[in-house]
Amino acid sequence: MLFRLSLAWGVPVSTLQEQLSARELTDYQAYYSIEPWGCLPADIRTAIVAHTTASCFSKNTLNFADFVPKWEPEKPMDYAEGSRAFSDLFHGK
């Protein structure tokens, strides 16, 4: 949750750790469970618009699920794979 807030507010995680109380963090977690923000909710809202727009111009019934991106979960890397990926990132491989 701290990383999401850090990205949303443009504040380092360390600053949030110093300034947010445990109660405030718990409140943000509760708020997120009621009204999530970020990529997945944005993808769903975009899919609603795309499906609605496409349906207006299609003679066929369109399946809403076809408009929602399907993200594959990332496979966890072991230490060696992570080190190689990090090295490749900075050494242009």
Q: What is the pLDDT of residues 18-34, one digit of tens each?
A: 999 999 999 989 998 88
Q: What is the pTM of this model?
A: 0.49
- In the chain, domain spans: 2-34, 39-91
pLDDT confidence of 93, banded at 50, 70, 90? low
Contacts of 69 (CB under 8 A, 6+ apart): 43, 47
Q: Counting Cβ atoms within 10 Å, is residue 73 exposed (0-12), middle (13-18) or buried (19+)?
A: exposed
Q: What is the pLDDT of residues 43-54, one digit of tens each?
A: 999 999 999 999
Query: Rounded CA gap, 75 and 59, in Å?
Result: 40
**Residue 18 confidence (pLDDT):** 93
Assess contact for 12 and 35: CB atoms under 8 A. Answer: no
